[in-house]
């Protein structure tokens, strides 16, 4: 596609529910990142994929957070037993080249705004 697509745009979940957020990166992009952006804050790194391999998940805040990219394209971020502190915008970004190319630009989607009530 023309850009990184994320769905849904908005998600309201009751505390304790599980949610799944989807990211369609730009076709052919090798690298995929997930970020969490709380209100009034900058984005915080969650996890990184190179193709289907999850190379870094050091930013995932707890074991309730899980991400996958089984075929090296679409990625899903799953949050189990959601808590109020999970409320944030979840941003996905993709990049054409792989880990060695530090200066390749990241292309961001518009994000999914998750509200946990």
Is 56 or 76 the residue whose CB approaches another protein more closely?
A: 56
Least distance between another protein and beta carbon 111 (Å): 6
> Going by C-beta distance under 8 Å and a sequence separation of 6 or more, which residues neighbour residue 4?
23, 24, 25, 26, 92, 93, 94, 107, 108, 109
List Cα–Cα distances, 13 to 1, 64, 84, 111, 117, in angstroms: 29, 15, 9, 16, 6
The residues of the shown chain that bind another protein, judged by CB under 8 A, are 4, 33, 40-45, 48, 55-56, 91, 93, 99-100, 102-103, 105-111, 113
Distance in Å, CB of 102 to another protein, minimum: 4
Question: Closest separation between CB of residue 34 and another protein, Å?
Answer: 11
Please identify, using beta-carbon distances, which residue of 84 and 103 lies nearer to another protein.
103
Closest to another protein by CB, 17 vs 107, is 107
d(CA 59, CA 56): 8
């Amino acid at each position: 596609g023309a850009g990184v697509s994320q769905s849904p745009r908005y998600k309201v979940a009751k505390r304790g529910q599980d949610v799944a957020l989807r990211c369609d990166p730009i076709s052919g992009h090798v690298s995929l990142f997930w970020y969490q952006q709380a209100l009034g804050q900058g984005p915080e790194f969650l996890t990184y994929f190179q193709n289907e391999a999850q190379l870094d998940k050091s930013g995932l805040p707890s074991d309730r957070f899980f991400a996958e990219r089984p075929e090296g394209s679409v990625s899903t971020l799953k949050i189990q037993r959601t808590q109020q502190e999970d409320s944030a915008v979840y941003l996905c970004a993709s990049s054409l080249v792989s880990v060695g190319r530090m200066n390749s630009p990241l292309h961001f989607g518009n994000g999914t705004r998750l509200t946990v009530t």
